[in-house]
Amino acid sequence: MPVLTLVNEDKTIEVAEGENLRQVLLKNGISPYKGIEKALNCFGNGLCGTCRVEIVDGKNAPSLSPQDELMLAGLLPFYARKVGKHVRLSCKTKITKDLEIKTYPPVEMDKQLTKERLTLTAIWSLFGGVFLFVVTRMLIEIATGR
């Protein structure tokens, strides 16, 4: 049976092979979420990126899919998180080998990605504004018969 070691909690847990990391944490009274994220999360559906854990030294870390990487960075247009090399979503992690983790890894802003997202959002907002203006003008012209 694989052994899960929780560094911050100074705890080791034997788990059944293939068990979901988030489920194991919750079953043992350890929330993978911090602060407001305890209430605002996707309940293990891999959509919010709030159940982050860091796998110590990346040992036995499962591979990171592009979708998981996107969720770890977050989807907000005005804030993107840096994705640490050994950070994983606990809800998408199956424990197949011994794993040593740190809960609540520090979160840093990815300034470059945030800048790119803000630029794209500004461009799309500008196009949206122009589109709405044109459509509104056309509707006014149709309604007034001019």
Interface residue list for ligand FES (CB under 6 A):
41-42, 44-51, 71, 89, 91
Hey, CA dihedral for 40, 75, 100, 20, is it positive or negative? Answer: positive
Nearer to ligand FES among residue 37 and residue 118 (C-beta): 37
Residue 52 belongs to what H/E stretch? strand 52-55
Q: Which of 93, 1, 13, 113 is nearest to 53 (CA)?
A: 93
Q: Provide the minimum distance between the beta carbon of 138 and ligand FES in the complex, in angstroms, as a whole number.
A: 43
Nearer to ligand FES among residue 40 and residue 126 (C-beta): 40
Report yes or no: 46 and 36 within 8 Å, Cβ to Cβ. Answer: no
Report yes or no: 78 and 110 within 8 Å, Cβ to Cβ. Answer: no
Q: Provide the minimum distance between the beta carbon of 104 and ligand FES in the complex, in angstroms, as a whole number.
A: 14
Nearer to ligand FES among residue 36 and residue 142 (C-beta): 36
Q: Provide the minimum distance between the beta carbon of 27 and ligand FES in the complex, in angstroms, as a whole number.
A: 15
